[in-house]
């Protein structure tokens, strides 16, 4: 997997083809390194996903790129403007839909958008025209005059994205846009985000592999502040092609049996009512014979194809839902 790093990073020959470039971008909080020497190049018009578990450094990276906090070391350029030397120019061409949305609950969709237009110094006419378009784009037509505190999480998130779009940014940062949404609301939001594809350069962070897979042109996997893999979703999956997972549900598995299996298959772990074994070559008969010989009564057995979750697991040793403190 490591050989992936840089392989797809050659990208355009011309520096001007990049919307975002980071150069050893680093942020430390005391002894803790939240973002660790990150080098990334995002092409203009690309939907790029930064994928990683909680605490990986995604929000910290976005905060640096949007000039809300200063890097401890390294830097980045947005459309050629250095975030340290020229934050004013950067702020003009980017916008953020933050992880914690900043909408005013007592105001309506319409009022929130007008307020935002004012913040960006747009004329009243311009703001109204854009607000109208954006309300349609994010599917809030018909709800524009209601107080947004009554909206569902998904609707609030759509409004937050519309608010980030009011300044017509060249680069849009979406920090965990579907965090906490139910699967249906998440899919609805994917459709809205898909509409923006190709129109804006988008950096989207997520800890849902499925989301990066569905939306992103390219994905960088971040873990403990470091980029551990980079590629298109299909390239990332190809790297573990052939990796299989065998799920066995059975009674009377002992710790000894699991230890024994680990000798042949190091990626053996306990699962619900049984075990899971991951490997490139699983010798089915051997495993079953061995278990029978140990007096294990197999109740159910199946093979799983690799998913992006497996990519993540093989890179980081962590499930994506893991909390990192």
Ligand X SMILES: Nc1ncnc2c1ncn2[C@@H]1O[C@H](COP(=O)(O)OP(=O)(O)O)[C@@H](O)[C@H]1O
- Of the pair 140, 215, the CB lying nearest ligand X is at 215
The 47-86 site mask, x for binding ligand X (CB under 6 A), equals -----x-xxxxxxx--------------------------
Q: Which residue number, 155 or 209, has a Cβ lying nearer to ligand X? A: 209
Reading the block at residue 142, the tokens are 């018909």
Show Cβ contacts of residue 125 under 8 Å, excluding neighbours closer than 6 positions.
none
Among 34, 83, 215, 236, which residue sits at the site for ligand X (rule: CB under 6 A)?
A: 34
Pick one of Mg ion, ligand X, none as the site partner of residue 34 (Cβ within 5 to 8 A by kind). ligand X
Q: Which is nearer to Mg ion, 59 or 192 (CB)?
A: 59
Query: Can you point out the beta strands (E) in the chain?
Result: 18-29, 32-43, 47-51, 73-78, 81-82, 94-97, 171-175, 201-206, 218-223, 226-231, 244-251, 267-271, 274-279, 297-304
CA dist., res. 127 & res. 130, Å (int): 5
Cβ count within 10 A of residue 173: 26
59 binds Mg ion (CB under 5 A): yes
* CA–CA gap between residue 299 and residue 285 (Å, rounded): 16
Q: Which does 32 bind (CB under 5 to 8 A by kind): ligand X, Mg ion, none?
A: ligand X
Identify which range of 5-13, 27-35, 143-151, 239-247 contacts ligand X by CB under 6 A: 27-35
CB of 153 to Mg ion, least distance (A): 16
Nearest residue (CB) to Mg ion, 58 versus 200: 58
* CA 39 to chain centroid: 17
227 binds ligand X (CB under 6 A): no
List of residues contacting Mg ion (CB under 5 A): 58-59, 99
């Amino acid at each position: 997997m490591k050989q992936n790093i840089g392989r797809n990073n050659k990208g355009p020959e011309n520096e001007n083809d990049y919307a975002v470039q980071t150069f050893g971008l680093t942020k430390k909080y005391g002894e803790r390194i939240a973002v660790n020497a990150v080098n990334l190049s995002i092409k203009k018009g690309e939907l790029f996903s930064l994928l990683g578990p909680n605490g990986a450094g995604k929000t910290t990276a976005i905060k640096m790129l949007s000039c809300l906090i200063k890097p401890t070391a390294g830097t980045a350029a947005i459309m050629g403007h250095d975030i340290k030397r020229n934050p004013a120019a950067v702020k003009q061409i980017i916008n953020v839909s933050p992880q914690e949305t900043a909408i005013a609950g007592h105001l309506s969709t319409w009022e929130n958008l007008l307020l935002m237009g004012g913040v960006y110094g747009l004329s009243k006419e311009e703001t109204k025209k854009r607000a109208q378009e954006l309300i349609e784009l994010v599917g809030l037509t018909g709800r524009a005059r209601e107080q947004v505190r009554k909206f569902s999480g998904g609707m609030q998130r759509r409004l937050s994205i519309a608010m980030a779009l009011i300044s017509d940014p060249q680069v849009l940062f979406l920090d965990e846009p579907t965090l906490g949404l139910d699967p249906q609301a998440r899919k609805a939001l994917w459709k809205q985000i898909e509409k923006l594809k190709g129109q804006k350069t988008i950096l989207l962070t997520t800890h849902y592999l499925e989301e990066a897979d569905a939306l992103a042109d390219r994905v960088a996997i971040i873990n403990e502040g470091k980029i551990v893999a980079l590629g298109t979703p299909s390239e990332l999956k190809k790297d573990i092609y052939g990796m299989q997972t065998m799920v066995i549900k059975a009674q009377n598995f002992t710790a000894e049996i699991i230890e024994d299996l680990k000798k042949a298959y190091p990626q053996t772990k306990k699962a619900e009512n049984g075990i899971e074994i991951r490997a490139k070559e699983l010798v089915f008969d051997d495993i079953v014979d061995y278990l029978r010989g140990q007096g294990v009564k197999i109740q159910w057995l199946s093979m799983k194809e690799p998913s992006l979750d497996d990519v993540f697991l093989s890179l980081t040793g962590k499930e994506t839902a893991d909390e990192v403190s």
